[in-house]
A and B are shown apart, each in its own frame.
Chain A
Amino acid sequence: MSSDLLQLSAAQAAAAIRAGEIDATELFAFYRARAAADQLNAFTWVAEAAATAAPAGAPLAGVPVAVKDLFCTEGVPSQSGSRILEGYRPPYTATVVRRLAAAGAPLLGKTNQDEFAMGSSNENSAYGPVLNPWDRTRVPGGSSGGSAAAVAAGLAPWALGTDTGGSIRQPAAFSGIVGLKPTYGACSRYGMIAFASSLDQAGPLTRDVTDAALLLRHMVGRDANDSTSLELPEEIRLPRRGELHGVRLGVPEELTGSAGGIDSGVRASFEAALAQAQALGASIETCTLPHAPHALSAYYIIAPAEASANLARFDGVRYGLRVAGDTDLDTMYSRTRAQGFGAEVKRRIMLGTYALSSGYYDAYYGTAQRVRTRISEDFRTAFSAVDFIVTPTAPTTAFELGAKSHDPLAMYLNDFCTVPMSLAGIPAISIPCGLSDGLPVGLQLAGPAFSENALLDVAYAIEQALGFDGRPALSAGGAA
């Protein structure tokens, strides 16, 4: 029975519960046991039981969801991977988590992440690195590494992550699962402990494209608590497309050329996926995003600038860690923040503070914003000639723990192909498109703002054609 449950996608499990074939309580207990026996350090907290039973007829039928730690969950530790929030239990729940609970997806547990979502390997967590279920000597990607590893190892049916510059897509790619970053504003950010407000978006990490569509459908929509949230023009549908006739896929030369450092195994999988898409009727065209090579530079000004302000509230006054400062307020501030923040967070706070400081603002922040505008325009122009843009999600497969943790710039290059879409605020999905040396490779598809349904359709068609059924050894979780 148990191994049967593991074979079900989340959508299949929901359907089985509704059909009376399996029981929601049993499903929760099954995943709870797997999550509690987690050997990947994917979870930072696991629920004892579903907080509330799924409402009768709820579309998600009680299929539990793992939630990245930075989503505030009432009374449940929400630490954003940081020492400074150790033991912090918020008095309220993030909108997206509330919506999923109302739709019948109770909280299974909180997943590990890079501290304040800053990282591409999950090694920046104050609660230890997450291991990649495909190879435990390797990273699962980041910053939503815990969510990605949990889904890939079958410790959770599906999971929530957040993506600021690639933090859903890259770990999805490294872990051989599907990860979707929606259009900026599609999901409320209320209750997400902020990294970079103008870039942060919640999104699903799932076993397949159908699950991603199903979870996303119950996350999106305007929220009065988030002024930047928007109503989608149409409801998210379950994908159903089987062919790609007339679909034009653009391969941007700036992201797939030599500058991206794409390794040969990744390139081979990518090209095989394109050939498969072509076989389904799509045309593959070269397109251009002239300013995309500057995206990382702009991103590493804008995101740290916003982060430097977003993280100012962690000052030891009201909640979280406080390190006493003798009699002096300033000493309390600096000791608290010195001990509470990790090295990468400090690096970005300093970077952002510098970029915003008097006399440098226009040269750094101003220029970065202008680049951001150009990148958005590049995408608009490109989408007049092609329907979707395709790239490898990350230039390499999962790397070994420690391989890049002392070289921030090498780490940042992981996001070379994902950051441009974040700056433009457009939706992008990563789906597994093969293995390279036994490790999963991700294919990224990006579309115009609010094209989620069409994007999911194309991703689904390619997913079906590729028939990727690679799974890490599912015993990784220990319980199976």
Chain B
Amino acid sequence: MAAETEYEPVIGLEIHVQLKTRTKMFCGCELSFGDPPNTHTCPRCLGLPGTLPVINAQAVHYGIMIGLALGSQIAARSQFHRKNYFYPDLPKGYQISQYDVPLCSGGRLGEVRIHRVHLEEDAAKLVHAGSSGRIHGAERSAVDFNRGGTPLAEIVTEPDLRSAEAAREWLTLLRTTLRAIGVSDVNMEEGSLRCDANVSLRPVGSSELGTKTELKNMNSFRFLAQGIRAEVERQTELLRSGRPVQQETLHFDPASGSLTPLRSKEEAHDYRYFPEPDLVPLEATAEMIDAARAQLPELPSARAERFAGALGLPAERARELAFRPELGDFFEVALAADAGAEPAALANWMQTLVERLGDGADPASSLVTPQAFASLVAMVSEKAISRDAGREVIELLVAEGGDPGTIVEREGLGAISADDDSLSAVVAAALAADPAAAEQVRSGNMKAMGPLVGYVMRETKGRADGGEINRLIREQLGL
């Protein structure tokens, strides 16, 4: 029996990012999230007769920042086009988008090449009454134009991803990058980050592209991976059973995890793109590009490399800090406090701090100052307090803030130092309390150390240093 063909997934992503401008792409309405429906509208974003679009300069600025962050070429003159189709969420009957001359072309983020980045306007939001949840079969549908006209950047990658997991990881990097440059909330659940995937398979070793399908509605990182995995499996089965993959658009159902084809009517669009006559070509001047570049912070991937390289952090720890800018910033301020803490120790203790603060919390908005954090880590490094005591101090810092030195003194958490006679006395007491263990240690069974160390720790409430206890036990047993 012939071996089954091995297939390789080829995946490209199309990402829509809502830009965090004050106003909409082509009118002066303020952006809003969660406000009562149709309260952020004007004649322009309702598509009333006679109205004309005016390009939002801030959106262009953000678009250029995205292009620069992704290493794209910024077009000196780009063009808006009309993309024509009828739908109730599209009040003009066309979407103003970019077509053959986008604002940004080419580029790369991590291992993935960028095809293009362009600007466009978001559609309004439709709410369908009835069980279908879609316009067909709905009892009635309502339109909320608050979202209509929100500036969007569409980022299209080359088909450089090879697995669902890689797609998910790369999208995380993109989100981190966009968040770091401050152009978007990039929140998938809220819809400010949306990702469609183009998926095809080809025999391993082939360089040709197979027929692709487009996956939509995967509105979380988990669903993205789930949707792609399901589609790779579906295509693999089709190809193995000798059936062709149809080029189609598939809708991901989060409830069932399954993919259903959109009605062909909904996708059989001829968008009849043509240059938007209501707008002159968009000129991106050298000044505009310089201004965008000047506002770019260090990008997460560069920061991770610096943390790993110059500071010697393990790669994974470096990424954890760099990919959450608020953590990276806190870490760097703590490092700059020059309290004597090593970068690696600070990075390790950052993990503890993050755990204590809870998922997603920004340490900068907690009661813990970077300086307090740094001196705490330094105290542990200098063995002024034990690790256990350090964890206790962090908890107190999170709860009430303040200075770790003061807390240690107040709580009596200071390490009992080696030259402190009281530690010697506690060790002696331990040996006296468990002579059997003491004897075993003396005869070379180091496993018996455990109960002895445990006794000392209990007695000192964890303030003693483990290494020091070890040394004193050996000393007192004459080893």
Interface residues of A (CB under 8 A from B): 70-72, 78, 80, 85, 88, 90-92, 94, 189-194, 196-198, 224-228, 305-306, 308-309, 311-315, 317-319, 329-330, 333, 353, 356-358, 361, 365
Q: Which residues of A contact B84 (CB under 8 A)?
A: 308-309, 312, 356
B88 touches A312 (CB 8 A): no
B51 touches A190 (CB 8 A): yes
Contacts A227-B279, A228-B280, A358-B272 given; does A315 touch B93 at CB 8 Å: yes
- Identify the closest chain B residue to A328 (Cβ): B136
| Bound: A358/B92 CA distance, A | 21
Whether B435 sits at the interface, judged by CB under 8 Å, is no
Q: Which residues of B contact A228 (CB under 8 A)?
A: 277-280
| Bound: A175/B217 CA distance, A | 59
Q: Which residues of B contact A315 (CB under 8 A)?
A: 86, 88, 93
B49 touches A225 (CB 8 A): no
Nearest-Cβ distance from residue B111 to partner chain A, whole angstroms: 34
Produce 1/0 per residue, B420-455, CB < 8 A to A: 000000000000000000000000000000000000
Whether B244 sits at the interface, judged by CB under 8 Å, is no
B52 touches A189 (CB 8 A): yes
B88 touches A329 (CB 8 A): yes
Instruction: Tell me which residues from 75 to 127 in chain B have a Cβ below 8 Å from any Cβ of chain A.
Output: 82, 84, 86, 88, 91-94
Whether B55 sits at the interface, judged by CB under 8 Å, is yes
Contacts A92-B43, A227-B54 given; does A309 touch B279 at CB 8 Å: no
B51 touches A309 (CB 8 A): no
| Bound: A357/B84 CA distance, A | 10
Nearest-Cβ distance from residue B88 to partner chain A, whole angstroms: 5
| Bound: A410/B270 CA distance, A | 32
Given contacts A91-B43, A318-B91, 13 further A-B contacts (CB under 8 A): A72-B49, A78-B50, A92-B48, A197-B277, A228-B277, A306-B277, A312-B84, A312-B93, A312-B94, A329-B88, A356-B272, A357-B270, A358-B270
B48 touches A190 (CB 8 A): no
A361 touches B47 (CB 8 A): no
- Identify the closest chain B residue to A185 (Cβ): B280
| Bound: A228/B135 CA distance, A | 37
A193 touches B91 (CB 8 A): no
| Bound: A194/B280 CA distance, A | 17
B278 touches A318 (CB 8 A): no
A309 touches B91 (CB 8 A): no
Whether B53 sits at the interface, judged by CB under 8 Å, is yes
B50 touches A88 (CB 8 A): no
Q: Which residues of A contact B46 (CB under 8 A)?
A: 318
Whether B143 sits at the interface, judged by CB under 8 Å, is yes
| Bound: A343/B277 CA distance, A | 25
| Bound: A70/B49 CA distance, A | 9
| Bound: A28/B32 CA distance, A | 46
Point out which of A94, A197, A314 has the most chain B C-beta atoms below 10 A from its C-beta. A197
- Residue in A191, A224, A311 whose CB lies within 8 Å of B50: A191
B278 touches A227 (CB 8 A): yes
A78 touches B49 (CB 8 A): yes
Q: Which residues of A contact B279 (CB under 8 A)?
A: 227-228
- Identify the closest chain A residue to B143 (Cβ): A317
What are 8 sample pairs from A and B whose C-beta atoms fall under 8 A apart? A78-B49, A192-B50, A305-B274, A309-B92, A313-B93, A329-B135, A356-B272, A361-B272
B47 touches A313 (CB 8 A): yes
- Residue in B52, B88, B274, B278 whose CB lies within 8 Å of A361: B274
Contacts A312-B92, A333-B86, A357-B270 given; does A197 touch B49 at CB 8 Å: no
- Residue in A91, A196, A329, A357 whose CB lies within 8 Å of B48: A91
Produce 1/0 per residue, B255-287, CB < 8 A to A: 000000000010000101110011110000000
| Bound: A228/B276 CA distance, A | 11
Q: In the complex, how many residues of chain B place their beta carbon closer than 8 angstroms to a beta carbon of chain A? A: 31
A365 touches B280 (CB 8 A): no
- Residue in A227, A329, A353, A357 whose CB lies within 8 Å of B52: A227
- Identify the closest chain A residue to B44 (Cβ): A225
Q: Which residues of B contact A71 (CB under 8 A)?
A: 50
B278 touches A197 (CB 8 A): yes
| Bound: A450/B236 CA distance, A | 65
The A/B interface has a contact count, at CB < 8 Å, of 104
Nearest-Cβ distance from residue B92 to partner chain A, whole angstroms: 5
| Bound: A353/B82 CA distance, A | 13
| Majority secondary structure of chain A interface residues (helix, strand, loop or mixed) | loop
Contacts A312-B84, A312-B86 given; does A90 touch B50 at CB 8 Å: yes
| Bound: A399/B448 CA distance, A | 117
| Bound: A5/B52 CA distance, A | 39
| Bound: A74/B29 CA distance, A | 20
| Bound: A80/B48 CA distance, A | 13
| Bound: A330/B268 CA distance, A | 14
Nearest-Cβ distance from residue B186 to partner chain A, whole angstroms: 29
Q: Which residues of B contact A92 (CB under 8 A)?
A: 43, 48
- Identify the closest chain A residue to B282 (Cβ): A227
| Bound: A41/B91 CA distance, A | 33
B50 touches A190 (CB 8 A): yes
Instruction: Tell me which residues from 48 to 82 in chain B have a Cβ below 8 Å from any Cβ of chain A.
Output: 48-55, 82
Q: Which residues of A contact B93 (CB under 8 A)?
A: 309, 311-313, 315
Q: Which residues of B contact A361 (CB under 8 A)?
A: 272-274
- Identify the closest chain A residue to B265 (Cβ): A330
B278 touches A90 (CB 8 A): no
A193 touches B274 (CB 8 A): no
Point out which of B47, B53, B55 has the most chain A C-beta atoms below 10 A from its C-beta. B47
Q: Which residues of A contact B135 (CB under 8 A)?
A: 329
B274 touches A227 (CB 8 A): no
Q: Which residues of B contact A80 (CB under 8 A)?
A: 49
Q: Which residues of A contact B86 (CB under 8 A)?
A: 312, 315, 333
- Identify the closest chain A residue to B276 (Cβ): A197
Nearest-Cβ distance from residue A102 to partner chain B, whole angstroms: 18
- Identify the closest chain A residue to B47 (Cβ): A313
Contacts A317-B91, A319-B48, A357-B272 given; does A227 touch B43 at CB 8 Å: no
A313 touches B92 (CB 8 A): yes
Q: Which residues of A contact B53 (CB under 8 A)?
A: 227
- Residue in B50, B55, B136, B278 whose CB lies within 8 Å of A72: B50
Contacts A309-B84, A317-B91 given; does A356 touch B274 at CB 8 Å: yes
Q: Which residues of A contact B277 (CB under 8 A)?
A: 196-198, 228, 306
Q: Which residues of B contact A90 (CB under 8 A)?
A: 43, 48-50
A227 touches B48 (CB 8 A): no
Nearest-Cβ distance from residue B93 to partner chain A, whole angstroms: 2
Nearest-Cβ distance from residue A116 to partner chain B, whole angstroms: 10
Q: Which residues of A contact B91 (CB under 8 A)?
A: 313, 317-318
| Bound: A385/B398 CA distance, A | 83
Instruction: Tell me which residues from 135 to 164 in chain B have a Cβ below 8 Å from any Cβ of chain A.
Output: 135-136, 143
Contacts A309-B84, A309-B94, A333-B86 given; does A353 touch B272 at CB 8 Å: yes
| Bound: A438/B294 CA distance, A | 71
- Residue in B49, B51, B136 whose CB lies within 8 Å of A88: B49
Contacts A80-B49, A329-B88 given; does A309 touch B274 at CB 8 Å: yes
| Bound: A330/B91 CA distance, A | 15
| Bound: A313/B51 CA distance, A | 11
B88 touches A85 (CB 8 A): no
Q: Which residues of A contact B82 (CB under 8 A)?
A: 309
Contacts A198-B277, A358-B272 given; does A227 touch B49 at CB 8 Å: no
Q: Which 4 A-B pairs have the closest CB atoms?
A: A312-B93, A197-B277, A356-B272, A198-B277
Q: Which residues of A contact B43 (CB under 8 A)?
A: 90-92
- Identify the closest chain B residue to A194 (Cβ): B50
Point out which of B50, B92, B94, B279 has the most chain A C-beta atoms below 10 A from its C-beta. B50
| Bound: A330/B49 CA distance, A | 22
| Bound: A358/B84 CA distance, A | 12
Nearest-Cβ distance from residue A365 to partner chain B, whole angstroms: 6
Q: Which residues of A contact B272 (CB under 8 A)?
A: 308-309, 353, 356-358, 361
A193 touches B47 (CB 8 A): no
Nearest-Cβ distance from residue B126 to partner chain A, whole angstroms: 11
Q: Which residues of B contact A194 (CB under 8 A)?
A: 49-50
A365 touches B94 (CB 8 A): no
Nearest-Cβ distance from residue B97 to partner chain A, whole angstroms: 13
